[in-house]
């Protein structure tokens, strides 16, 4: 054997690597590693839905969750939180419960329907096997006064 090395606990994947002369490099997960963590990005990190009449749904906007790490990403939950949580809806969640391999991505689609006037904000959070346990993106939009008299004509 030429070399034996254990990866630091802060790296992914947590493995014991053995380099041999003529037999290549071998890796085995460390028993004490626990949950294997990877890295990922949400793109874009912020979505501006623009101005939308109160009570009227806007167009669908998409976020991409990309696995930038070396092991499979496993999103376990996608949720909207924050002050104006009711104004945002997850139209389609192509991530939760899926396995996203290294270099692959999945999509979350969102819709903004303001239920009050003015600036409206919330946060999309994706829980997964990443450092700190989650990724988040900021959601912003503005509620405008609707034309309530149009039905009376």
Indicate if 9 and 52 belong to the same structural domain.
Answer: no
pLDDT in tens, 6-65: 655 555 566 777 777 777 877 776 655 567 789 999 999 999 999 999 999 999 999 999
Task: Classify 50 in phi/psi space as left (phi over 0), alpha (psi -120 to 50) or beta.
Answer: left
Are 49 and 84 part of one and the same domain? yes
- Length of the chain in terms of residues written: 153
Q: Is residue 116 domain-shared with residue 53, that is, in the same domain?
A: yes
Has residue 135 got a pLDDT over 50?
yes
Two tokens at 127? 């829980």
The answer to the question of residue 134 being in a domain is yes
Mean pLDDT of 68-87: 94
Coil, strand or helix at 87 = helix
What pLDDT does residue 32 have?
54
User: For the domain that residue 50 is a member of, what is the CATH number?
Assistant: 2.60.40.10
pLDDT for position 94: 97
Q: Is residue 153 part of a domain?
A: no
Same domain, 93 and 25: no
Neighbour count for residue 38 (Cβ, 10 Å): 21
Domain boundaries, position 9:
3-33
Distance CA 129, CA 37 (A): 5
Same-domain pairing of 13 and 78: no
């Amino acid at each position: 054997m030429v070399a034996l090395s254990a990866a630091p606990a802060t790296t992914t994947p947590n493995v014991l690597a053995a380099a041999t002369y003529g037999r290549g490099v071998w890796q085995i997960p460390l028993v004490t590693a626990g949950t294997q963590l990877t890295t990922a990005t949400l793109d874009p990190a912020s979505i501006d839905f623009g101005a939308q009449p109160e009570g009227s749904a806007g167009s669908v906007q998409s976020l991409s969750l990309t696995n930038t790490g070396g092991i499979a990403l496993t999103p376990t939950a996608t949720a909207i939180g924050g002050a104006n949580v009711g104004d945002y809806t997850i139209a389609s969640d192509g991530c939760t419960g899926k396995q996203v391999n290294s270099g692959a991505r999945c999509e979350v689609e969102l819709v903004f329907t303001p239920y009050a006037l003015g600036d409206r904000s919330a946060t999309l959070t994706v829980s997964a096997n990443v450092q700190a346990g989650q990724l988040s993106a900021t959601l912003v939009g503005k509620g405008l006064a609707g034309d309530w008299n149009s039905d009376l004509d």
